[in-house]
Structures are given as C-alpha cells and as structure tokens.
Amino acid sequence: MTQKNSRLIWVLLIGMSAFVAYLFSQNQSPEEEQKAKNSATLVNTQVVSLSSLVRQVSSLGTALANQSVHIVTNTSDYLTELHIREGQRVEKDHLIAQLNDVEERARVAELSATLLDQKRQLDRVKNLARTQATAQSLLDEQQTRVKTTQAQLDAVKARLNEMTIRAPFAGVLGLRQVSEGAYLTAGTVLTTLDDLNLIRLEFSVAEYYLAQLKAGMAVNASSVAYPGQVFKGEIKAIDTRLDPITRSVKVHALVPNGQLELRPGMLLNVSVILDEVQALQISEKAIVPLQNKHYVFVVNKDNNAIQTEVQLGQRMSGLVEIISGLNAGDEVVIEGTTKIRSGSLITKVGQ
C-alpha cells in the first residue's frame, strides 16, 4: 500500500511539473521571441538599381594662350615711337613700335629714282636694238642694271618694314619691357601678345583611356581662383606619341574665355566626359575591402547578410560602380558592416 501511494505521488508530481512547464513556456514565448529578435544586428541597407553614370577621366592641366608671341625687334636702332598700353586688347596689324627709319626711307627714295631712270634708259636701248644688232650687248647690260637696282630696292624696303613693328594677330598686350628713346639691338623683347579669347588647355591622359579619346569630346575645367565655377570646352587635338616614361598621351583642348578669366600658366583640374551609360551603383560605405578584393553583404530572404565578392568600376562622389557580383534589385548593407559576419542575422533600421 505504501509503495502504491509513493508511485501515485511521483506521477502527480511529474504531471504537475509538466503542467507548470507548459504554462511557463506559454507565458514566456513572446518575451523569448522578442529577445531573439533583439539579438539580430541593426543595419542600414540599400537596394541596388541601375542609374545614369557619366564615365570620365580626371587630370591636371596647364592653361596656354591659343596664340602667344614675344614681340621683338629684328634690327638695331633707336626707338622713336612706342604704342604699348599694358593689358590693352589690340587688333591684327596694330602699330606697337616704330624704330628710327630716316636712313632707310632716304635710301628707298634714292633707289626708286635710280630705278626709274634706268627703266627709261632700258626703253631707249630696246628701241635701238631693233635697228642695230650691236646694241644687243647694251640691252643686256641695261637689263642687268635694272634687275640689280630692283633687288637693292626690295632689300631696303624689307629693312624699312622691319623698323615698324605691328601685332601679328589680335590679342592682349603684356607688360612693357622698354622705353621710348632707347637704343634697341636685334632680338630685344618689347612686350608679349596673347590671344586669350580661347585658352588652349594642355593635359595628359593615361594610356588606358587612349582608345576612348576623340577630338570633339566635352571637357570640364576648374580653378582654385574661381571656386565652384566650371569652364567648358572640347578636345582639339591628341598627340600622336605617348610619353615612354609616364605612358600617357598629351591632349589639347580649347576653352572659350570671353571674360578673360583664365590666364596662361594657370593650373586647372580637368575632367573629360568619355561616355554616359546605365550602370549599377551603390554607396561606397557598403564596400568591405579585404586584401586585394572587395566584398559587400547581400541580404537574403531570411534577413541573413551573405558576404559576396564584387568587382568595382568607376568611383564617384559617395558612390561606386559595380561591374560584377550584384544584380539590380539586390539589397546590400551600407551601415553596420563592421558588426556582422557572413550569415549574421540582421534587422533593418526602420523595419
């Protein structure tokens, strides 16, 4: 009897324990579920999508005048007139300087008179040669005199023209280097002349982009002197040779400069627009570099973050192009990547 009562007591105790455990599990299941939910890592995510991407290459360039010369003297003499107003815009053939040309003018007048007289004598000898055969030698001699005098006259006229210095093209005069009345020797620099309406922008591009470069491509340039301002132009010429040391090609672009804001010698940041395409782009914060590879965490349907290798393309401000490894519609972690591992359970912020 005692043994039966003992067994009954044990059965009742086991039953009560099971009932209490059931009630406990029923009461605690919402809390346990919340706890499990709280154990997931909070992250921000982004859905990968196609968007417009401007492919471009950047470089540093130097501004050059479209045309630029040093105005120099070709002969030696005193400077009698100087028409240089620094910073003045002048047209082609504008008189810049005049050297003393009294001697040259007198010599031109002398030779002109001599030539005129010799031509009259030549006409008389020609008439004489028609009737007298012996006059042929006189005719040859007179023709030689005329040609010699003509050559001397042309030489003096050329020297006379060198005494007058004019602008070879329209442009802006630089700083004056001489004063009126000074004796100048051949090769003395008077000033500079620059055509600044167009700026020739010189820059170098890596060999990798050579096949994509073409004349007429759009170019954007900026300078620290004008923050926020973009100067637009286009490629004019591409060098036929590459630099064997840097493996880069030299490019010239023309940039309109109607306000004369750009000056020769300025350093400019240059970007060449190569193409505009539709490409996959994500926030650069999603990229996890590991050795020489790049990864992202892709969120699957069970809210697990799966580490996935990707190949990167062009980088923009805050964005990076994805060449392979992702598809449009994939969801990637962009904040919280340092707190998770591949397979980690995540909770999206705001969900």
Q: pLDDT digit string (tens) for 111-170? A: 999 999 888 888 888 877 776 655 677 777 888 888 999 999 999 998 999 899 999 999
Confidence at 1, pLDDT banded by 50, 70, 90: very low
Mean pLDDT of 252-276: 91
Full-model pTM:
0.60
pLDDT digits (tens, 9 = 90+) for 188-198: 999 999 999 99
Residue 288: which of 306, 307, 305 has the closest Cα? 307
Most confident of 74-78, 168-172, 248-252, 287-291: 248-252
What per-residue confidence (pLDDT) applies to 339?
Answer: 87
131 versus 177: the higher-pLDDT residue is: 177
- Whether the per-residue pLDDT at 33 is higher than 50: the answer is no
pLDDT at 344: 87
Measure the CA–CA gap between 298 and 328, rounded to whole angstroms.
12
Weakest mean pLDDT among 180-184, 229-233, 336-340: 336-340
* Whether residue 30 has pLDDT greater than 60: no
**What percent of the chain lies above the pLDDT cut of 90?**
47
CB-CB neighbours of 107 under 10 Å: 18
| The residue to which tokens 């010599």 are assigned | 107
pLDDT of residue 275: 80
Average pLDDT over residues 80-84: 91
Closest to 282 (Cα-Cα) out of 50, 42, 58, 55: 50
- Per DSSP, the three-state class of 327 is coil
